[in-house]
């Protein structure tokens, strides 16, 4: 242990590796997860008085919280609309309940500010609260350095115990008990709702793809279309373009004035319905013809032009003749993390990413009229660095309400800046790239290192706190899950009229519980509950971390 004590980098990565190993332990549908496992291991190693410089914890927490905000920003602001207000109400229920219960427990049992904050963070299963509360405690004016260290240690210990009980409660309550209370079979209800949302069309599982894709290419032998011009043929078919013509051994330029002759070979690209009609109009389909298989390019284009935003796909194709003339097709619409059908009536919004498929020359001409090619291949560290600097500066601002000092701190400031920078990037995706894989890695690593540092520091205070409040912590972890979840279930069902599978997912999201939604989707055998989860998860990911400084400010006063 002496080697670990002298080399803190060994301690950190030992906590990470052993913690994630412990986190893989599964009991039924419940697994602790890597973060909780890391905290348990770091608390144990911390009892041997192994510590890490506080600046390491601050830096990695800033990376975590900014990445969290960056990923959630587009979805967060997209959900600030009238349609999502009913889901926002669920997040407010969660916010009011956890703050009220934590404050009530602190007053009833004379808890110190660190223990109360740890109960809030653990029972709400929101790891970010550990950071925002710990930072807020460090800024309280009337505490000595020893008291600050002690109370910050209490945050981690109370969080660990309450998290365990809160995690088990939210997973079992949402995935097992709620469907029984609602008297539904979650798998059947999710399937019915999905088919209703798609107009009776069944959805695809994660490992499935369309057997009949909407955009296809085919070659035909000219028999019935002898003597017809290409321009006339394309106009009569609609949604189909001629990409190549082979006459004997010669490849011809498929200009609109070219007249087809008997036995020509024609390559068509277009919508499946139009291709089927083309077969009846041109002649029999043939196998692929060497030299006639014109390659199609793909571009992902972000909608940035105001003239384009708000248009349906049908209107886009009507207003831009390049779609028909150059054989370019929209095959996918990505809005935040949701794939929308590329149907004629789908309306595109600013920030949507359209997948365009077609001849390279036509694509290049069309892209500039719609938006900009998405650049997401490497992290823009200029944008990332400026975002964290802006968040750190924002966190230094202190606002006093009476005698209560309120400050976002580095954590809250970086969360707000992450939301804004992520949202702005989604609106104009020509700069500020932070690929999702990189952002998720930064988020997970930042939180894991922060939690390991917190656990190592809190190790010596863990056992005395457990002896003093051993029975209270499990009770708080269970109560702070059941009370807001039950209220949300009643309000969501009777007042907000949220569909039952969406409501169950939304309640897991208001708790920011990834294990819960994982268990729910397994029971549902569908991703439908995720549609409710993503809305409340994005909102709660912003709101819950702010409860740490609020509770610390109120109790510290």
95-107 tens-digit pLDDT: 999 999 999 999 9
Q: What are 257's two structure tokens? A: 């004035």
pLDDT for res 507: 93
Residue 281: which residues within 8 A CB-CB, separation 6 or more? 224, 225, 233, 236, 237
Rounded CA separation 424/307 (Å): 19
Give whichever of 123-127, 159-163, 179-183, 552-556 has the largest mean pLDDT.
Answer: 179-183
Whole-number mean pLDDT of the chain?
79
The structure tokens 């609309």 sit at 81
Rounded CA separation 330/427 (Å): 19
Q: What percent of the chain clears pLDDT 70, i.e. is strictly above it?
A: 83
Q: What are phi and psi of 353, to 5 degrees?
A: -110, 120
Residue 256 clears pLDDT 80, i.e. is over it: yes
39-95 tens-digit pLDDT: 778 878 877 777 777 788 788 888 887 887 787 777 667 656 666 678 888 999 999
Q: What are phi and psi of 380, to 5 degrees?
A: -90, 95
Residue 206 clears pLDDT 50, i.e. is over it: no
pLDDT for res 376: 67
Q: Which is more confident, 528 or 280? A: 280
362-420 tens-digit pLDDT: 677 777 777 777 776 678 889 999 999 998 888 777 776 666 556 666 767 887 888 88
Rounded CA separation 30/37 (Å): 13
The structure tokens 């549908």 sit at 29
pLDDT for res 336: 58
Q: Which is more confident, 75 or 8? A: 8
451-506 tens-digit pLDDT: 788 778 767 766 676 677 777 888 888 888 999 999 999 999 999 889 899 899 89
Question: Are the C-beta atoms of 139 and 405 separated by less than 8 Å?
Answer: yes
Q: Is 363 exposed, middle or buried (0-12, 13-18, 19+ CB in 10 A)?
A: buried
- Largest alpha-carbon pair distance within the chain? 94
């Amino acid at each position: 242990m002496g080697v670990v004590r002298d080399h803190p980098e060994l301690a950190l990565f030992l906590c990470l590796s052993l913690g994630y190993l412990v986190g893989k332990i599964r009991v039924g549908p419940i697994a602790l997860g890597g973060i909780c496992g890391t905290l348990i291991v770091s608390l144990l190693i911390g009892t041997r008085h192994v510590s890490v410089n506080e600046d390491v914890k601050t830096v990695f927490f800033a990376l975590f919280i900014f990445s969290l905000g960056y990923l959630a920003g587009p979805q967060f602001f997209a959900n600030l609309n009238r349609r999502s207000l009913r889901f926002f109400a669920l997040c407010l229920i969660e916010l009011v309940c956890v703050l009220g219960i934590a404050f009530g427990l602190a007053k009833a049992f004379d808890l110190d500010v660190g223990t109360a904050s740890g109960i809030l963070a653990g029972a709400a299963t929101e790891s970010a609260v550990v950071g925002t509360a710990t930072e807020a405690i460090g800024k309280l004016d009337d505490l000595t350095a020893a008291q600050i260290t002690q109370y910050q240690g209490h945050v981690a210990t109370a969080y660990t115990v309450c998290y365990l009980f809160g995690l088990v409660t939210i997973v079992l309550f949402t995935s097992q008990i709620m469907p029984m209370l609602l008297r539904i079979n979650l798998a059947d209800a999710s399937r019915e709702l999905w088919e209703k949302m798609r107009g009776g069309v069944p959805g695809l599982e994660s490992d499935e793809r369309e057997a009949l894709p909407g955009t296809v290419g085919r070659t035909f032998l000219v028999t019935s279309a002898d003597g017809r011009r290409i321009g006339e043929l394309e106009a009569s078919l609609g949604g189909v373009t001629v990409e190549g013509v082979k006459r004997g051994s010669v490849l011809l330029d498929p200009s609109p004035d070219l007249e087809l002759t008997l036995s020509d070979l024609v390559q068509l690209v277009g919508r499946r319905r139009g291709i089927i009609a083309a077969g009846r109009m041109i002649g029999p389909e043939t196998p692929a013809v060497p030299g006639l298989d014109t390659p199609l390019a793909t571009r992902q284009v972000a909608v940035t032009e105001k003239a384009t935003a708000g248009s349906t796909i049908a209107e886009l194709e009507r207003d831009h003749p390049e779609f028909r003339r150059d054989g370019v097709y929209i095959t996918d619409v990505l809005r935040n993390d949701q794939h929308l059908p590329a149907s004629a009536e789908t309306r595109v919004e600013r920030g949507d990413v359209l997948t365009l498929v077609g001849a390279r020359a036509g694509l290049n001409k069309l892209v500039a009229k719609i938006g900009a090619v998405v650049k997401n291949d490497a992290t823009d560290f200029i944008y990332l660095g400026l975002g964290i600097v802006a968040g750190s500066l924002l966190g230094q601002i202190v606002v006093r309400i009476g005698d209560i000092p309120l400050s976002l701190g580095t954590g809250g400031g970086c969360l707000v800046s992450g939301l804004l920078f992520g949202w702005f990037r989604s609106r104009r995706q020509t700069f500020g790239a932070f690929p999702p894989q990189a952002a998720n890695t930064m988020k997970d690593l930042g939180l894991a290192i922060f939690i390991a540092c917190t656990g190592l520091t809190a190790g010596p205070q863990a056992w005395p706190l457990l002896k003093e409040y051993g029975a209270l912590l499990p009770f708080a972890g269970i109560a702070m899950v059941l009370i807001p979840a039950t209220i949300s279930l009643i309000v969501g069902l009777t007042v907000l009229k949220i569909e039952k599978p969406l409501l169950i997912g939304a309640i897991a999201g208001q708790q920011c519980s990834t294990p819960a939604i994982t268990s729910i989707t397994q029971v549902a055998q569908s991703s439908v509950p995720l549609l409710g989860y993503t809305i409340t998860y994005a909102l709660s990911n912003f709101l819950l971390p702010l409860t740490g400084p609020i509770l610390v400010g109120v109790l510290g006063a």
